[in-house]
Amino acid sequence: MSKLWGLTDRCYFFDKIDTGERAKCRNCSWIKDRGATKSTYNLKYHLEHQHPELWSQKLEAERMKQEKKKEEKLPLQHVQTILNFENMVRENG
């Protein structure tokens, strides 16, 4: 699911209307037919060019989420490095 859609417990940028055939911007009421592929390209383009401050917030939130994922992985990587070092010492010791 694209991170552009509104969910009941989160506030995103667009709502699906007409059983998902069209999308409505929550900020300016712009409505776009999504077409057969249901692509979100036009929605992203709209957000980036019509609401650049919201686009920046979206990008910052995604960047912070990626950093958090990296931080969560670091301890595991550190443990793996230690285990690799210990194995190397055993093999050469």
Task: Look at residue 89 and tell me if it is in a domain.
Answer: no
Percent of the chain with pLDDT over 90: 19
Counted domains in the chain = 1
HSE-CB for 85 with a 13 A CA cutoff: 6
User: Tens digits of per-residue pLDDT, 50-76?
Assistant: 999 999 988 888 888 888 877 776 677
59 domain residue, yes or no: no
pTM score of the predicted model: 0.62
Residue range of the domain that includes 7:
1-50
In-domain check, residue 40: yes
Q: What does R_g of the chain's alpha carbons equal in angstroms?
A: 22
Alpha-helical regions (H) of 1-93: 41-50, 52-92
On whether residue 64 sits in a domain, the answer given is no
Q: Is residue 72 in a domain?
A: no
